[in-house]
Amino acid sequence: MIRVAVVDDQALVRGALAALLALEDDIEVVGTAATGAEAIDVVLMDVEMPDMDGLEACAQIRAACPATRVLIVTTFGRVGYVRRAFAAGASGFTVKDSPPDQLARDVRTVAGGGRVVDPQLATDSLAVGINPLTPRERDVLIACEDGGTIDDIARALHVSPGTVRNHVSAAIGKTQARTRVDAARIARENGWL
């Protein structure tokens, strides 16, 4: 019997996934949770949740319980998330609009020690490439999403305005954007933030 816990911040989705998997003879749903902070023993997890996102929770689960397999199931099929999920130790990554029977197959594959990834995301991931941003450039672009000035961002990140300008310039070049807001949008859409 494959034991699975479902973690998703949306109650309807969480319940539907649990009910769907419970129909399988060889899969037992042993629990559900609404946030990553609740999800320390989980296998099936969403990416974007309150308190702790699924990627951070995945890394903590894998560090605490290396034998636990994590299958990311999300609405947000962004190529950067795929790479970050596997870097965090996930065994699989699929999207919520996959056919129901595919989810059960993915759970079985992951439980058996295999890896799964949505085929379209795998193809897109190869086309987009790796995240070109440094951790500090990511921090600056996240701060740019709030719409503050360079001085506001510098104060928030405890760096000089010149340093912020340098990181913004580098991020614009790496994302091939026209503005810092555009760079943040492109980075977010690719799952790099």
Which range of 33-47, 98-112, 125-139 scores highest in mean pLDDT? It is 98-112
* pLDDT above 90 for 172: yes
pTM of the prediction?
0.62
* pLDDT above 70 for 40: no
Annotate 54-93 with b (16+ C-beta within 10 A) or e (fewer).
Answer: bbbbbbbbbeeeeebbbbbbbeebbbbbbbbbbebbbbbb
**Confidence band, pLDDT 50/70/90 cuts, at residue 146:** confident
* pLDDT above 70 for 187: yes
**Confidence band, pLDDT 50/70/90 cuts, at residue 169:** very high
* pLDDT above 90 for 115: yes
Report in angstroms the alpha-carbon separations of 154 from 86, 124, 167: 32, 34, 11
pLDDT tens digits, 147-166:
889 999 999 999 999 999 99
Average pLDDT for 44-61? 86
**Confidence band, pLDDT 50/70/90 cuts, at residue 42:** very low
Strands 2-7 and 27-33: parallel
* pLDDT above 60 for 82: yes
pLDDT, the chain, mean: 87
Average pLDDT for 169-173? 94
Q: What pLDDT was estimated at residue 124?
A: 77
* pLDDT above 70 for 9: yes
* pLDDT above 60 for 41: no
